[in-house]
Amino acid sequence: MKKWIIILLFFFSVTVVRAAGTGEIVLQEARFHLGDAPAGWTEPGFDDSDWQTIAIPEKWHGEGMYAQYRIRFQVPDDFVKTAPYKRNAIFDLAFIDDCDEACLNGKLIGKSGRMPSEDGQAQSAWDKHRIYKVDARQLKEGENLLTVLVWNRRTRGGVYGGPFVVRMAQLDDLLEISCSEDGSADHCRISVSSDVRIRARLDVAGKEKRARLKPGRVFKRDISYDGSEPVKLDVSIRDKRTGQIVCKSFTPKYCLTPPAPQEPRYNSPAVLGVRCGSPIYFRVPFSGLRPMTFKAYGLPEGLSFDEAMGVLSGSVGKDGEYPIRFEASNEAGSSEGSLLLKVGDTIALTPPMGWNSWNCWGLDVSEEKVYASARALIASGLADYGYSYVNIDDAWQGSERSDDGTLLPDERFPDIAGLGDYLHRNGLRLGIYSSPGNFTCGGYLGSLGFEQKDADTWNAWGVDYLKYDLCGYRSILDTLPVVKRADHMKPYHLMDAFLKRQPRDICYSICQYGLEEVWTWGASAGGNLWRTTGDITDTWDSVLRIGFTLQRELWPFSGPGRWNDPDMLVVGRVGWGEGLRDSRLTADEQYSHVSLWALLAAPLIIGGDLSSLDRFTMNLLCNNEVIAIDQDPMGRQARCLMEKDSIQVWGRPLSDGSYAAGIFNMGDEALDVNIADILTESGWSGIGVCRDVWRQKECRETAAIPPHGVIMLKFNAIDAK
């Protein structure tokens, strides 16, 4: 292949280096201007001689600002002519924090995110790899101009992750597969833009289709599938001239949970713990057609029941166990459900379920967004499966306290008490966040020195859950000559004492990332749950580390009222800010994530935005049998019982005498397994009735487990290891 070396000569131009032999033009420097864009700056003739020169990649400073990059580069005469595929050039702009708009010779070639100038509402795109496919006719021989407008919300912004690269498309770039859901049926689109003769082979679940493509044609094929089982799309294209083949595989999202029956069905939980005299908010978790009416029998004194809404409220003045029976009826029929109300010292008898604002909204949270999720929790039906906490994470706090020390909310939270009322009326619960330090991780005011005041304030607002995050307290620990475990425990004990003094139950979530083996002392510091690791993110590596690796030895420490918390569910639309995206976990990885969390008896706190849930995510979160395993009253966390090649088996006993297990495929290839053999190898003997809980069907003898996927089972066995 011809080698190009281009040296930039023009006095106002910037250096452009051509990586020898790769057919790439590497752009390493730009003319740079910070602030609003001057008129005509995207035009080649614009005079940028007084702009500074900046290296790519290099971040710039400046909050909520625009910046402009002008990059002149030379395109050799034979750049397009000698390329194997002449239709498209690829502009790889690596990563840009935050939104960008790129033009080639004055014409828009791509943009990511949304700048506030468009309608005042910015949309973040900082973690999106910018690859723009451009009609190669737009490239001129000789000098070209790439301009990039960037807007950034936070202090450091700009281009990062590598220099920009311009190259001609390779065979791989010609093939695109995209799948989306349109509500009823699922569709995938495969497109190949060819400028040479290409053969395409498409294999959908073993059914093969072939196509021949003439130059200049775009081949588009829509595949629809019913989405109830995994369908693997294997597409390969072959360049007839060179014989080169490119293969891509893709498994679109698929829904395993069968639709809930139309008649009422009682879902989890079966037990509810409350302290004597504390207010109860409990929405009876019946799925099924609405409208639905409800009845409750066996209510202890002090409780009342809203028959139209199915909401239990009031308080019980005497410790004891109170079996309550509910009935629900709708157009399709009626059914019953029962709850054992345990009035005593222990709350959170089953792992908390609900939603938290952090994984979707990050520091851009507002009362409006929390309301939207709370409304969606009800309207989508998630609340009918036991999801009940609506938790505001960091960034609700204002910048000061009132004269009497009361922490005032930010103006984005005009009425937290009103939000609490709304949730309670609907049988749901409110959660809030703070830090034992001066400041939270997001830089907002913490509770240090105001612990009692804050606990009182939260009680007045109707708060039912506190996530107390170490963050700013680390700087206090740093001042100690030697940090002992007791020093880590101290601030948590302190807040616990004030929470316990409140006339309500506040579920206490300790968040300090597992430091000092919190699982060994979290319960004695009053915690009902404690984070065992750092923050989760929506990648398989993160789920692997946080779930499969770091929870292994923690099973002895968890149980009713005291749960290990491997962090929130990274499902649905997440983004930690304004640019929400679909979780980057594949469908199979999401099944594994939720299965493992249920087996671990982990809190099921949804991290995605509830107001934009797709059918797949709803299906994933509303499997009553999977949830029942998580919510099993015995509360035994699963152990890893077998590990062989790429298989891991995690299992736990359940309160009805049966067992639950997940057979996980940690590898990158699908695996065929014999279920009975695997269970026997994992230590169970005399296996009886076996149910595939995702499909809610009897298990088959063998199963094909997709890469990073799972088969989740509930079964009877005579004996277990």
394 sits near ligand GAL (criterion: CB under 6 A): yes
Any contact of residue 442 with ligand GAL (CB under 6 A)?
Answer: yes
CB of 473 to ligand GAL, least distance (A): 11
Using alpha carbons, select from 83, 87, 85 the residue that is nearest to residue 4: 83
Is there binding between residue 440 and ligand GAL (CB under 6 A)? Answer: yes
445 binds ligand GAL (CB under 6 A): no
Q: Determine, following the binding rule CB under 6 A, whether residue 432 of this chain makes contact with ligand GAL.
A: no
Nearer to ligand GAL, 144 or 537 (CB): 537
Q: Is 79 in the site for ligand GAL (CB under 6 A)?
A: no
CB nearer ligand GAL, residue 533 or residue 665: 533
User: Rounded to whole angstroms, how far apart are CA atoms 36 and 67?
Assistant: 7
Q: How far is the CB of 6 from ligand GAL (least distance, A)?
A: 46
- Please identify, using beta-carbon distances, which residue of 263 and 393 lies nearer to ligand GAL: 393
Is the bond leading into 230 cis (omega within 30 degrees of zero)? Answer: no
For residue 413, give the amino acid letter: F
For 281, 517, 641, the CA distances from 388, given in Å and listed in that order, are 9, 29, 32
Say whether residue 393 binds ligand GAL (CB under 6 A).
yes
Residues in a beta bridge with 325: 297, 338
- Sign of the C-alpha dihedral, residues 458, 463, 469, 471? negative
Specify the residue, 24 or 364, whose C-beta has the smaller distance to ligand GAL.
364
Instruction: Please answer whether residues 675 and 681 qualify as being in contact, where contact means their C-beta atoms are separated by less than 8 angstroms.
Output: no
Please choose, out of 46-54, 115-123, 439-447, 684-692, the segment that lies near ligand GAL by the rule CB under 6 A.
439-447
Identity of the residue, 275 or 488, whose beta carbon is nearer to ligand GAL in the bound complex: 488
DSSP string, 476-490: HHHTSSS--HHHHHH
Which amino acid is located at 507 in the chain?
Answer: C
d(CA 94, CA 162): 6
In terms of phi and psi (left: phi > 0; alpha: psi -120 to 50; beta: otherwise), the region of 694 is alpha
Closest CA to 716 of 636, 662, 677, 658: 658
Place of tokens 């149980």: 559
Of 19, 32, 29, the C-alpha closest to 56 is 29
CB of 574 to ligand GAL, least distance (A): 12
Sign of the dihedral defined by the CA atoms of residues 25, 31, 36, 42, in that order: negative
Assess whether 50 carries a catalytic annotation.
Answer: no
Q: Which stretch binds ligand GAL (CB under 6 A): 251-259, 435-443, 488-496, 624-632?
A: 435-443
For position 578 contacting ligand GAL by CB under 6 A, the verdict is: no
Catalytic hit among 306, 421, 487, 535? 535
Min CB(441)–ligand GAL separation in Å: 3
Is 48 tagged catalytic?
A: no
Contact 637, 601 (CB under 8 A): yes
Contact window for ligand GAL (CB under 6 A) among 97-105, 438-446, 490-498, 682-690 = 438-446
The Cα–Cα gap between 609 and 614 comes to 10
Nearer to ligand GAL, 254 or 473 (CB): 473
Candidate list 469, 496, 588, 632, residue with the active-site label: 469
In whole angstroms, the minimum distance from the beta carbon of 535 to ligand GAL comes to 5
Does position 179 interact with ligand GAL (CB under 6 A)? The reply is no
Among 471, 499, 570, 703, binds ligand GAL (CB under 6 A): 471
For ligand GAL, give the closer residue by CB, 394 or 464.
394
Give the count of alpha carbons within 13 A of 504, CB side only: 24
Q: Which amino acid is at 513?
A: Y
Considering the rule CB under 6 A, would residue 466 count as an interface residue with ligand GAL? Answer: no
CB 27 within 8 A of CB 56: yes
Do the Cβ atoms of 433 and 392 come closer than 8 Å?
yes
Minimal distance, residue 281 CB to ligand GAL, in Å: 24
H helices within 57-97, ranges in order?
78-81
Q: Is 306 in the site for ligand GAL (CB under 6 A)?
A: no
**Alpha-carbon distance 432 to 281, whole Å?**
17
Residue 114 is classified by DSSP as B
Among 60, 66, 281, 358, binds ligand GAL (CB under 6 A): 358
Does residue 434 bind ligand GAL (CB under 6 A)?
Answer: no
Residues 6+ apart with CB under 8 A from 346: 273, 560, 561
Smallest separation (angstroms) from ligand GAL to the CB of 436: 12
Q: Residue 607 or 707: which CB sits closer to ligand GAL?
A: 607
Q: What are the helix (H) ranges across 552-631?
A: 587-599, 615-621, 624-630
Q: Which helix (H) or strand (E) holds 8?
A: none
Does residue number 469 form part of the binding site for ligand GAL (CB under 6 A)? Answer: yes
Choice between 195 and 469, CB closer to ligand GAL: 469
Spacing of C-alpha 77 from chain mean position: 47
Is residue 253 a contact partner of residue 186, using CB atoms and an 8 Å limit? yes
User: Which C-beta is closer to ligand GAL: that of 127 or that of 535?
Assistant: 535
Report residue 114 CA to chain centroid gap. 21
Among 136, 202, 223, 441, binds ligand GAL (CB under 6 A): 441
Supply the minimum distance, in Å, between the C-beta of residue 253 and ligand GAL.
Answer: 26
Residue 535 near ligand GAL by CB under 6 A: yes
Site string for ligand GAL, 315-354 (x = CB under 6 A): ----------------------------------------
Candidate ranges 117-125, 291-299, 434-442, 624-632; the one touching ligand GAL (CB under 6 A): 434-442
Q: How far, in Å, CA of 467 to CA of 678, rounded?
A: 39
Least distance in angstroms from the C-beta of 352 to ligand GAL: 15
Query: What is the contact mask toward ligand GAL in residues 488 to 527, using x (rule: CB under 6 A)?
Result: -----------------------x----------------
| Residue 234 sits in the site that holds ligand GAL (CB under 6 A) | no
* Closer residue to ligand GAL, CB minimum distance, 239 or 609: 609
Tokens of 52: 């500074």
In whole angstroms, the minimum distance from the beta carbon of 254 to ligand GAL comes to 30
Q: Please, what is the minimum distance in Å from the beta carbon of residue 476 to ligand GAL?
A: 16
Whether the CB-CB separation of 671 and 647 falls below 8 Å is answered with yes
Please check whether residue 584 is in contact with residue 539, taking contact to mean a CB–CB distance below 8 angstroms.
Answer: yes
Residues within the interface to ligand GAL (CB under 6 A) = 358, 393-394, 440-442, 469, 471, 511, 535
Active site residues: 469, 535
